[in-house]
Chain A
Amino acid sequence: MSATGIGAAVRRKEDFRFITGKGQYTDDLTRPGETRAIFVRSPHARAKIKSIDVSAAKTMPGVVAVLTGADLANDKIGGLICGWMIHSKDGSPMKMAPHPALAADTVNHVGDAVAVVIAETLAQARDAAEKVKVDYQVLPSVTDAAKAKSGPQIHEVAPKNTIYEWALGDAKAVDAAFAAAKHVTKLDIINNRLVPNAIEPRVALAEYDSGADHLTLWNTSQNPHVARLVIAAFVGMAPEHKLRVIAPDVGGGFGSKIFIYPEEVVCLWASRKVNRPVKWTAERSESFLTDAHGRDHVTHAELALDEHGKILALRAKTIANLGAYMSTFSSSVPTYLYATLLSGQYDIPQIYCEVDAVYTNTAPVDAYRGAGRPEATFVVERLVEVAARQMSIEPTELRKRNFVKSFPHQTPVIMTYDAGDYNASLKKAMELADVKGFNKRKREAARNGKLRGLGYSTYIEACGIAPSQAVGSLGAGVGLWESAEVRVNPTGSVEVLTGSHSHGQGHETTFAQLVSERLGIPIDNISIVHGDTDKVQFGMGTYGSRSGAVGMSAIVKALDKVVAKGKKVAAHMLEAAEGDIEFKDGKFTVAGTDKSAAFGDVALNAYIAHKFSGQELEPGLKETSFYDPTNFTFPAGCHICEVEVDTETGKTAIVNWTAVDDFGTVINPMIVEGQVHGGIAQGVGQALLEGAVYDKDGQLVTGSFMDYTMPRAHDLPSFSVGLTETKCPSNPLGIKGCGEAGAIAAPAAVINAITDAIGTEQLTMPATANVVWQALQRAQPARQAAAE
C-alpha cells in the first residue's frame, strides 16, 4: 500500500478551503445585478386559495416583481414529478397528484408556497412579502399516517388519500408458515418522522442570459444532472442544452438534496421573467417546513419461529406517509428500498409485506440517510431481539442460528446477497464491546441506581442500487449507472470528471487515491471535478452509498482505457509491439527489458503526436466510461449499544458504542470511520431525540432547532469502530459502500439496549427521558416481580 493509494488514511485534499473559510457554497456566490426572493407560504395545512392580492406588495420599496401560482400556470410551467412508478396489488398505477411549484388553487401543507416576492435586497423582499394578502378558506386536514385513509381527501386523483397499495412476497406461503409455527412474535412499530437538517440550508441562484437564451442554476444538489433532466423534460423550463446546473460545495445532504424542489423551479422562471439573477436562501424554519422529511412508517410486523428459534417466516403491514405531494423518489423508499431488506442477515424462507402509501397534509417524505433500509432493519432487528427474549434464547445465539452462511443467497424478497460473513462481524463486535464483562458492569450500575442494557443490531443494507435494467423493471424512471471521464493533460497531471457528487464524503481525496494507485502518479497531480453539467458528462449523482461502488468503478473503467491507450503510445515511443508493453508504478516498460517511458512522457507524446501518424492512432489521452453494476452491494455488520438508564429521570446515557462493519474494500479508513460516526449519530438521534411532530391542525410544532432535538456533542459517546472484510464480487474494486450503515444500524441497537435495561418492549422513538420514564412506570410491577 502506498502512502496515498487505496487503503491509506490520506488527509483530505478538500479540507484546506473549508478550515480557512474559503469553501464556495451556493449562498457564498453572488451574480451581478442579483435580486433576492422570499416565498409567501401557507400558514394552513389545507386551504382553498380564494384570492391573492399582490397590489400592496408591488408598491413596496425595492420590489422587482411579485409572482403567484396563477402567473406560473399562465406561463405553462410544469409541475414536479415523482420518478419511480409503483403499481398497486391490483395492477393500477400509483396516484400521482399534480405538484405545481406555486400553489394556485389549494395549499396542502403548512409551508406550501403560493407566491414569490423578488426585490433588490433580502430585507425589502421580506418586508414586501408581508404585504401579500392571501384569502384562504381553511379546509379540514389530516397529518397522521394511520388516519390518512379516513381523513378528508386531499387530491382528486387519490381516493382515501391512497397513493398505492403494494405488496411483495408470497402471502399464502407465509400464512402457511405462520400456521405451523411454534412461536410467533408480534410488534407494532412507529418509525418516527425525521427532518434531515443538513446544516447548510437549501439555496437556489438562477440567472437568465437573454443573449444566449440560456439559464444557469446554482443549487444545493446531490445530483445536478438529474435536476437538469427533470427541470428540462418534466417542468419544461428550458431544453436540457439551454440549462446548466452547478452544485458547488454542498454542506451536507443526507438525501434531502437529491430531490427537485419548487424553489429551484420558481427562481429559474423568475430570473427569466425579470431578466436578472434571482437568489433564494432557505431559512432554517423553511427547511423544516419544506425539505423532504424522512421515515414516518406505521407498521405491524410478525415473526414465525420453530421450537429451536429457527425463523420460518416474516410478515409486515406498513402504512407509509408520503406527505402532501410525491417527492422525486418518494415512491421507491417504502417499497423497493424497504421490503426487499426484510430478510436482514437471516435465512428466512418466506416473507410477505404490504405497504400502503398515503397522502397527508404534511411536508413531502422521501429518502433520508438509509431510506427504507433503516425502517426495514428496525422491524427485523426488533422482531429478532424480542423473539429471542420471549423464547429465552440468547439474542446473539438466535441470530447465529439464522444467519445466512452460504453465498450467493437468494432471499424471498428479490435480493441476491453476494458475499458476507455475519458471524465474523458479530464475533468481533462482541469482543470489542467486552460483552463478557457486561454482567459485571450491569451489577455495578445497579449499585448506583442505574439500569444497564445491551442492544444488538446485525443489519444489512443494499447499496449502489443497480443494475439499470433491473431497477427499470421495478419502476425506476432513470438508470443507475455512473459515468467518469479521465483527462490526462500533456504534462501528465490528471483531471477526473465524475458524475458522483461530494457533499461531505471526501471524493476529492478518495477518488484521487484510486487514480494515484492505478496510474502511479502523486495525489497532488490529480484533481476531481464534479457538480457542473457544463463540465461533466451526464451522471447520476451521490446517494444510496453509491459513489464508491458505482462512481469509482466507472473511474476504474476509464483508467483502464487510459492505460490501454498509453500502451499504444508507449509502443511507438519505445519501438516495441503493443502487446509487449507493461504498465506498473507509473511506468510503461517493454517486457523483459529496461526500456521504459514514464507516464508523464507518454502523456506528452500522446498530445504532441510526433511518434505516430494519425492513421495509426488518434492523438490525445482522454477516456470516458459509463459503468453499470451487475448487482446491488450488501454492506453488513454488527452494532452493539450499551446504555445506562436513570430510573429517577428516565434519561438514557449511551455508555459504549461498538460498530463492526463489512464494507468490502476500504479506500480511506479515516473517511470510512467518519461516515460510520456520522451515521450512528443520526441513528441515535432518531432513537433518542428527534421526531417531527404535527399538531391536529397540521402545524409543525417541531419547527426549529429549539423544538426539534438535534444530537449535540454531549448526547453522544465516542465510538469504537472496527471492520471486517469480504470483497464485493459485483464491482472491480470490491467496494460495498459505507455512507448509510450507521443510520441503518443504530436505532434498533439503541431501542434493543433500552428495552433490555428497563424490561419492557413497549417503547416508542424518540425514547426521550419522558418516554422512557413512562415506560419504566408501566414496567415497574413486572420488574419488581422479577426481582422478588
Chain B
Amino acid sequence: MPAVSMTVNGKAVTGDVEARTLLVQFLRENLRLTGTHVGCDTSQCGACVVHIDGIAAKSCTTLALQCEGAKITTIEGLAAPGGALHPMQEAFRENHGLQCGYCTPGMIMAALDIVRRKGNDLDEHTIREQLDGNICRCTGYHNIVKAIAAGAKAMGKGGPARQAAE
C-alpha cells in the first residue's frame, strides 16, 4: 500500500493507505478524527468539509493520496490549543446554529471559507447562496445564517480569531 504524509491540524502524520482511500476515511479511520462526517455519496451535503491548504474541500471526494504534503485543517483543529473556541464555533453555539450537530463541522468549515472569500461583513443573501454545498435537515438554516454572519463579524474584530487554515 502506498504511504501518504500530510500535516493535519498542525501535526505531521503518515499512513499506509489503499490508493482508493478517501481523505475522509483517512481522517476518520486512520487518525480517528471523527469530527468530519459523511452524509451522502454524491458530494452534496457538505458534512465532510475540511480545509486543504486553506481552502474548503469535500473530503469525501478527495483521495488521501492527493493530499500528499498538504496542510489539512479539520473541525478538531479550530479551537485554540488551550481550548478557547474559534469565534465561528462560538457563534454557532450562541445563535443556536445547530441541533443534531451532524452537519455542524462541515457548516463551520464552509462558513470559514465564505469569510475567506467574501469578507467579514456578510449579508443574508450572500450567506444563503454560498451555503449551496451544505445541507442541514434540522435548523431550516435560519440560525445557521445568523451564526455565520455573527461569526464573520467577530472574526473581523480580531479577538481570539484565528483564520482556520493559516
Contact = CB atoms under 8 A, between A and B. Distances in A.
Real complex partners, A and B?
yes
Interface of A: 11-12, 14-25, 27-28, 30, 123, 197-201, 249-252, 254, 283-285, 503-506, 670-671, 673-674, 677-682, 704-706, 710-714, 716, 718-719, 742
B44 A706 contact: yes
Interface in B19-49: 20, 28, 32-42, 44-45, 47
- Considering residues B76, B124, B136, B138, which has the most beta carbons from chain A within 10 angstroms of its beta carbon? B138
B142 A23 contact: no
B85 A716 contact: no
Given A197-B137, A198-B137, A674-B99, A20 B92 contact: no
B34 A28 contact: yes
A705 B135 CA distance: 10
B24 to A, nearest CB: 11
Interface residues of B, number: 55
Contact of A19 (B36, B98, B131, B141): B98
A350 to B, nearest CB: 37
Given A677-B141, A678-B140, 17 more contacts: A11-B93, A12-B93, A18-B104, A19-B89, A19-B92, A19-B108, A21-B75, A22-B76, A252-B100, A671-B96, A673-B96, A677-B142, A714-B131, A716-B140, A716-B141, A716-B142, A719-B140
A251 B100 contact: yes
A84 to B, nearest CB: 26
A14 B101 contact: yes
A680 B100 contact: no
Task: Report whether over half of chain B's contact residues are helix, strand or loop; otherwise say mixed.
Answer: loop
16 contacts: A15-B93, A15-B98, A19-B101, A20-B78, A21-B76, A123-B18, A198-B100, A199-B137, A254-B137, A505-B99, A677-B140, A704-B44, A705-B45, A710-B44, A710-B137, A714-B128
Contacts of A682: 137, 140
Given A19-B108, A201-B39, A681 B100 contact: no
Contact of B96 (A250, A285, A670, A716): A670
B103 interface: yes
Contacts of A678: 99, 137-140
A713 B35 contact: no
A675 to B, nearest CB: 8
Given A25-B37, A25-B102, A713 B93 contact: no
B129 interface: yes
B129 A714 contact: yes
Contacts, number: 178
B129 A19 contact: no
Contacts of B75: 19-21
Given A200-B37, A712-B132, A11 B140 contact: no
A200 B92 contact: no
Contact of B137 (A24, A249, A252): A252
B49 to A, nearest CB: 12
B94 interface: yes
Nearest to B79: A20
B36 to A, nearest CB: 7
- Considering residues B33, B98, B132, B143, which has the most beta carbons from chain A within 10 angstroms of its beta carbon? B98
B27 to A, nearest CB: 10
B161 to A, nearest CB: 15
A251 B102 contact: yes
Contacts of A16: 93
Contacts of B105: 18-19, 21
B37 A718 contact: no
Interface in B99-132: 99-105, 108, 124, 127-129, 131-132
B95 to A, nearest CB: 9
A89 to B, nearest CB: 38
A23 B101 CA distance: 8
B74 interface: yes
B46 to A, nearest CB: 9
B101 A18 contact: yes
A199 B104 CA distance: 10
- Considering residues B45, B99, B134, which has the most beta carbons from chain A within 10 angstroms of its beta carbon? B99
B42 A705 contact: yes
